[in-house]
Structure 1
């Protein structure tokens, strides 16, 4: 029984109940249980021995590692808490300083100048152009989607910064061999807007060396600057809605061609509001954001179209365009408006900016609208004439230059071309900036002085070898261009054939000081020569100055100040601040003298050195001019409607080869004026034929002679140019 009960220990559940009297046999039964109960206690001690056995080096290293990890964790979360608090504090400070969204849409330091032609159509922009406020809702979806696809596809889902974008940009920069922060920035639109706001630092002229220095500071790419930019972006995300941030961006971003904001870019390049741009146009504007100057379509349309094609591809990939819409946009790329194609008015607009009041043009802080005298039809005529002559009659590769000015008799400039390249902005303007010797084109002022003092066009002067002593210089013996002399001739013939000796004699007879006074009265304000060579045009002047002086002859003898501005007002105002600047001034010579001079100058075109300038059906008057060694060649003339001047030469003063004012300049003048007078009804010149002129012509005709021999007239007709000159070859160096 005892052995049996030892194999079967009592139930432990009995311990849950109070102790009860037991029999002696029962009391002896738990003894085996005590033995079995001791075994588990011994088994529990075994693991303790095993843990002690794993001590030593391994246990020590494990303990060190555990302690280090716990330390790192404690430091990390504490540091993270400090950083988070600092970030929150920084964001909070920036948040409190942010103004209302409406105060941030226009951040230009300078104002803009919008120029209108004589009909009121916009043709040019200068300064920092801002077309007006647009919003994320008002712009064309084509433009909005193009910007999102190009600049920040996750704009509406991130919190102001994009870690994924930053990591991707760093990876690309390293792969392309640049520094991690050089090149691609991974900036979101919010971060770009923060940079456009210069992180809240406003431009104050007194605190910066220049606006360029301020803008350079705003574009810094240092790690510290990036951190501040991120804080600013986070604050903006808290302050403004996504659409408000996009609105600020759409209005402040520079988009090339002087245009700030989407509205200015749409008007500048396509002549339409930002709400109406097509997919191709929106893609072109969005494509400018990466490099607005080099990608501007006014600088390189093909490059801009290629960039737009990339943007269209992104829009298709991201679902903004269907395959059909994307293909249509690629097949019909954006084209520039007519005004943009004209390169924003070129030389004429630059001249208006340089001559207008500085505080309303070059340094304006307001948005200004200027009404000008420009006639777009006449501007096109001058540009086409220039292009035609240089393509058809000038040797390929020639570096010769030319300039054209067309104006009305009151000095209102209607067209201006300052060089062979007609579609430029900010280039050297040879019509207004180049001071060149005028040559024989100055001679009309010599004869104007004579007529004003009582001479007649039919009075005579002896053309003969002539010398005079100049104090301090010795003897001076001028010669005619033909190296011939023609005896006693009329003043009319002397001007018609551009003879030098008679011009000097007349100038000395009436007094060169009086000649200088008359020339200055007509508007030639350059430093005029003091010696007798004054009559030969050795003084320098500009083309616009000379053309304005000839306009004074056409209008009856009154001075002229060439002008291009007719009205200036601030954008949004109705009343102009400035009216016409320039026009007809004081009388210089009598009307009768001016009309007789016009008759003499008409002979130059109809039967003299300027015959290549003759216009079918129109009376024209003018004068050729060629300086010493043919460094400058001129033709200036007029009809009853318009005055035009042409200069030709090299920028480095190299002599022209085989060119005189009677040659290519006269032909450029002819081509210009033929186009200018297209569709107009011919009207006669306001000229006065001197008494006895008809009788003199009849006598000359009956004698077979005339003011010029028949042989000379035939040679001049065959050879062209001034008497005795060689045929006009192509220009070459």
Structure 2
């Protein structure tokens, strides 16, 4: 009996036979391929035996093999490190400084210059030969022979530093220094040094040696707010760079190492001593003989008389970046401009003195070396900025660029978000142990208060309360959103620890955000530029005209509640040393980061907001410094000075009566100021606010009277001419 071709059984057999044939083909193909590969491998092995080495040669070959392996891995690592550095070159780096900007203070006085028009710079070929030699002998003797990194110079510098037991020589080449000036900041970090090395190689590959030298001489900071050798020659000697003699060239070349320390208008003996070292370098480097430099040694350079008033260089750097930002937004069409800034040089000098006196008197005991400060007047104008202790030593602006943990000063955003949700200063919450996703924060002192009001929790800087608010009521995203609305521009991490200020911010961020409170909950609109004009006097930009109106970022109710809390912290909380003299209502918050690496106080009155930070560039711990210590004391010293003889504005939401505007008489302030341990600053006598208003009224009345008189005279003259028939002047 034959199978039915249409039955399912024959169909299954056919499929099975087909699958068996496919399986057989795969097996045979794989076997043949494996056999073929084994034959090829055997042939390769037989061939490679011809190159087999034994004995001492084998050791060399093995070392070369391992070297190639590690070298390949190293190249991959280097490539990964180089990518971030080369990202810096994507922008139009040549035009970054293509501005000639003259800066004025708020009153119209010239305070400094920034930028350079490169077309007007002097080519290297036209510079004095002794100037170029002096720079190379001191900064980079092998400049024309290395490829951007001088390994011989690096070894020599390390050897000299080891002998001296400290840093006495630097290993950076001139190209590396230019890379830092063009693309990077002066922040001392391993990441910056790696970028600097790769960018130096990039510059050597893309520019000639003459171009690198020319850019270096144009861009380097030379002290006294001058950038470039040409500007320094004009400032110190009143000469064109092409006219400087050997003694003056040596003094200029000596400025590259430490421009503030050797600035001749500040310390002429030190500048001459440094110039003598440069002359010695010329002789030791074989670029000149002792006979050629002896006249310069005997007749050192002298400088023209300049006022020793320091320029607000950290502020000017930031303001210059603001100018470039406006140009990038298309608001400035001209490259040579005059900028009226918001800085008040009286307040700036007081801020510098407050910071320096604090570090000088307490720096050693607290083991702190750096500080930063930003002062904003209510309305957004930045009146003072301290970006570090010594601009000549480090141009890195710690006020606008350094990212540091704010500690408890970040609690402003958590409590503000809570007030927006309906909490009040009298709302009660538990201060007790809490665990959130395996994390158990503790209070300072490891004790707990039980049930407390939010006002008390904020004043005593309890840690469990803001964490409980974030965990049970707000969420971390809401806290981040509130901080951004109030003016924090630094990207924030929204992890569980953010209520305690573990995400880094800048001093400028904190000053901007806290300034929302005296502004009544509106954006503080911090700014450093009031006007930009061209040299014909035309206004290219005016903040009051062109900036958008402030938007409300904190409701009136939440703002009022927060101000009630913040103004109690200098009274019953952690910032008692920040309370101002004369009964001026003061609000603010202290902050201390982990292991005492950062100490903050950010405070405000109705007139000003000031953020103060202390710490170390290398992130080492201080000696138990909290925000209620030196930061609060420095805040008080500056703000007491700032409020002398001015009209005091109320803090929104606070009903306390204001003291008289001229409360700060010298002796009284001196007596109270001494309680903080810092001598007070006494503001020079000036007219009171009431006297100023009266004089302005008189001036306006006289102007109107003068205009009226001129109009009356014109009418009388016209009447007389009509009666006598005399023609007007200028007409037949």
Please report the TM-score for the alignment, with normalisation by the length of structure 2. 0.54
Aligned residue number for residue 427 of structure 1: 395
Matched, 1:511 2:474: yes
3-state secondary structure, aligned to 1:643: strand
Change (3 A) 1:490 1:639: same
Note the 1:235-254 alignment, pairs <5 A: none
Q: Does 1:660 align with 2:620?
A: no
Q: Alignment partner of 1:567: what SS?
A: strand
- Structure 1: any 5+ residue segments left out of the alignment? 1-108, 134-146, 152-168, 170-177, 179-206, 220-253, 276-282, 310-328, 691-717, 721-733
Alignment of 1:302-381 (within 5 A): 302=268, 303=270, 334-338=304-308, 341-342=309-310, 344-357=311-324, 366-381=335-350
Q: Which of residues 550, 562, 586 is equivalent to 2:526?
A: 562
1:557/1:594 contact within 8 Å kept: yes
1:294 is aligned to 254
3-state SS, counterpart of residue 430 of structure 2: strand
> Which has the larger displacement, 346-355 or 423-432?
423-432
Offset of 1:337 from its aligned partner?
2.3
3-state SS of the aligned residue for 1:558? coil
CA shift at 1:379, angstroms?
0.6
Residue 431 of structure 1 deviates from its aligned partner by 0.8
d(CA) in 2 for partners of 1:217 and 1:505?
A: 59
Deviations 1:184-221 (A, max 9, x none): xxxxxxxxxxxxxxxxxxxxxxx9987884546889xx
The answer on whether the counterparts of 2:251 and 2:301 sit within 8 Å (CA) in structure 1 is: no
Q: Distance in 1 between matches of 2:339 and 2:246?
A: 30
RMSD: 4.6
Q: Which residue of 2 aligns with 1:394?
A: 363
The answer to whether the Cα contact below 8 Å between 2:229 and 2:252 also exists between their aligned partners in 1 is no
Query: In structure 1, how many angstroms separate the alpha carbons of the residues matched to 2:574 and 2:213?
Result: 62
Partners of 1:375 and 1:414 within 8 A in 2: yes
State the match for 1:248 in structure 2. none
**Residue 448 (structure 2) pairs with residue 485 (structure 1):** yes
Relative to 1, partners in 2 of residues 1:668 and 1:218: Cα closer, same or farther, differing over 3 Å?
closer
**Distance in 1, Cα, partners of 2:454 & 2:593:** 21
For 1:393 and 1:582, the matched residues in 2 are separated by 42
Q: Are the aligned partners of 2:599 and 2:625 in contact in 1 as well (CA < 8 Å)?
A: yes
2:340 alignment partner, SS class: strand
The aligned counterpart of 2:112 is 124
Aligned length: 453
Q: CA separation of 1:368/1:290 partners in 2, compared to 1, >3 Å: closer, same or farther?
A: farther
- For structure 2, the residue ranges without an aligned partner over 5 or more in a row are 1-96, 122-126, 134-140, 142-202, 216-220, 277-298, 657-674, 678-732
In the other structure, the counterpart of 2:653 is: 687
- Alignment counterpart, residue 516 of structure 2, candidates 543, 547, 552: 552
Secondary structure of 1:416's partner?
A: strand
Closer, same or farther: CA 213–358 of 1 in aligned 2, 3 Å: farther
Q: Provide the residue aligned with 1:598 in structure 2.
A: 563
2:523–2:553 contact (8 Å) kept in structure 1:
yes
Report the Cα offset of residue 545 of structure 1: 0.6
Q: In structure 1, how many angstroms separate the alpha carbons of the residues matched to 2:377 and 2:389?
A: 23
Equivalent in the alignment of 1:619: 585
The 1:351–1:361 alpha-carbon spacing in structure 2 relative to 1, beyond 3 Å, is: farther
CA distance in 1, matches of 2:460, 2:370: 26
Among 615, 631, 639, the alignment partner of 1:673 is 639
Match of residue 424 from structure 2: 456
Report the structure number with the largest CA radius of gyration: 1
Counterpart Cα distance in 1 of 2:213 and 2:434: 70
Map 1:404-423 to 2 at 5 A: 404-421=373-390, 423=391
Q: Retained in 2: the 8 A contact 1:631–1:649?
A: yes
- Alignment of 1:495 onto 2:458: yes
2:555 is the alignment partner of 1:585? no
| SS of equivalent residue, structure 2 residue 497 | helix
TM-score under structure 1 normalisation?
Answer: 0.54
SS in 2 for 1:482: coil
Contact 1:411/1:582 (8 A) holds in 2: no
**2:489 aligned with 1:525:** yes
Match of 2:611 in 1: 645
Counterpart-to-counterpart distance in 2, 1:584 and 1:478: 41
Match of 2:573 in 1: 608
Residue 457 of structure 1, CA deviation: 0.9
User: Taking structure 1 as reference, are residues 259 and 395 closer, same or farther at Cα in structure 2, changes over 3 Å only?
Assistant: closer
Deviation at 1:290, TM superposition (A): 5.6
5 Å matches for 1:48-63? Answer: none
- For the residue of structure 2 that corresponds to 1:586, the secondary structure is coil
For 1:346 and 1:285, the matched residues in 2 are separated by 29
Do structure 1's residue 538 and structure 2's residue 502 form an aligned pair?
Answer: yes
Quote the offset at 1:535 in angstroms: 1.3
3-state SS of 1:355 partner: helix
- The aligned residue for residue 696 of structure 2 is none
Deviations 1:216-244 (A, max 9, x none): 6889xxxxxxxxxxxxxxxxxxxxxxxxx
Distance in 2 between residues matched to 1:433 and 1:569, nearest whole Å = 28
Q: CA deviation at 1:596?
A: 2.1
- Residue 583 of structure 1, CA deviation: 7.7
Partner of 1:315: none
Alignment partners' CA distance in 1, 2:417 and 2:214: 62
Structure 1 stretch displaced more, 561-570 or 597-606: 561-570
The separation in 2 between residues aligned to 1:634 and 1:680, in whole angstroms, is 26
